[in-house]
Amino acid sequence: MTNNNQPKKEKYVTEKGIHTDFVNNMTYGEYLQLDSLLSSQKRLSGHHDEMLFIIIHQVSELWMKMILHELNAAIDSIKKGELQPAFKMLARVSKVQSQIIQAWDVLSTLTPAEYLEFRDKLGQASGFQSYQYRMIEFALGYKTPHVLTIYKKDPELHAHLKEAFEAPSIYDVAIQALSEAGFDINPDLMNRDFSETYEGDETVQAAWVEVYRNVDQYWDLYQLAEKLVDIEDWLQQWRFRHMKTVERIIGHKMGTGGSSGVSYLKKVLDHRFFPELWDIRTQL
C-alpha cells in the first residue's frame, strides 16, 4: 500500500544521466557546513574592502589548520621510525604554504586609503594573535615563552598551546631519527627541555654532513632533510611577503594589536628553525 504522506522525492540528473536523490541524502552544502562557513564574514564597518580583509585571514587560518594536521601527523610518524609516510605529509605542507603565500598578493590589492576606512573597527585584533600560527612555530621548534601570556584569558586554549609548547618539534624528532640511525648525537639532546628553542649542535651538524655525503646510504634521512628545508624556505617566503604587504598598506605604523609591525616582521626573518641544514651547505 502506498503512503501518500511521504514527501515527494526530487531527482536531479547529472551530466552522465545518473539520477541522484538529494532529499534523504546529505548534500554538498551540508557536508561542508556552508551555512555556517559562508555566514562567518561579518563586516563591522560595512566598507566594501573589509570583506577581502576578513576572507583572506579566514582562509589562511583554514590552511594553517591543514598545516598543523600534517605537521603533527608527520612528527608522530617520524617518532615511530616511519619516515616514508611523513614525506608525503611534509610535501603537502609545502604545497599549502605556497597557497598562503599567494594570498598576500590578493591582500596587497588593498590600498592604504581603503584600509583606513575600517582599520579602527579592528580594535586590538591582530594577526599576531593567531594561535594556530604560534602552534606552527612551536611544531617547527621556535619556542617563545611570552607568546603564551597572550592567551591566558582562555584557560582551555592556553592549556592546548602549553602542551604544544612543551612537546618535541619536528626537528627534535628528526635529530632522534639521526641517533636511531647510528649517528653519534649529543645525548643531552635526546632528553632536553623541548620548551626551549633549539640553538644548534656540532654532533647534529656532523651527522647531516655524513648524510649529504652518502645520499644512497642514508636516502630516507636525506629526503627528510630536504623536506624540512622546503618547509623553512616556504615559511621564510611567507614571512617576507607578510612583511612587504604590511609595509605596503600601513608603512611603519604600529600594528593594531600593539605590535611594532614591520620592524618585528623584519626581525623574525633572521630566525632559522633548522640551522645545521643551512650551515652544511657551506661545509659540503
- Output the 3-class SS for 56-86: HHHHHHHHHHHHHHHHHHHHHHHHCCCHHHH
Question: According to the model, what pLDDT value does residue 126 have?
Answer: 72
Let me know if residue 3 belongs to a domain.
no
Global pTM value: 0.87
Question: According to the model, what pLDDT value does residue 7 have?
Answer: 45
Question: According to the model, what pLDDT value does residue 183 have?
Answer: 98
Contact predicate 249/108, CB 8 Å: yes
Question: According to the model, what pLDDT value does residue 33 have?
Answer: 95
Let me know if residue 81 belongs to a domain.
yes
Question: According to the model, what pLDDT value does residue 2 have?
Answer: 46
Question: According to the model, what pLDDT value does residue 8 have?
Answer: 45
Contact predicate 34/50, CB 8 Å: no
Let me know if residue 73 belongs to a domain.
yes
* CATH number reported for the structural domain that contains residue 105 in this entry: 1.20.58.480
The domain tally of the chain equals 1
Alpha helices, DSSP H, located in the chain: 28-31, 34-37, 50-79, 83-107, 112-116, 131-140, 146-149, 155-166, 170-180, 202-213, 219-250, 262-268, 275-283
CA quadruple 44, 48, 54, 55: dihedral sign: positive
Average pLDDT of each block of 10 consecutive residues along the chain (284 residues)?
47 52 80 96 94 96 98 98 97 97 93 91 78 96 90 92 97 98 97 95 98 98 98 95 88 66 81 96 94
Let me know if residue 176 belongs to a domain.
yes
Q: What are 244's three cell numbers?
A: 612587504
Q: Which domain holds residue 94?
A: 47-283
d(CA 14, CA 257): 50
Question: According to the model, what pLDDT value does residue 11 have?
Answer: 47
Let me know if residue 133 belongs to a domain.
yes
Let me know if residue 19 belongs to a domain.
no
Let me know if residue 171 belongs to a domain.
yes
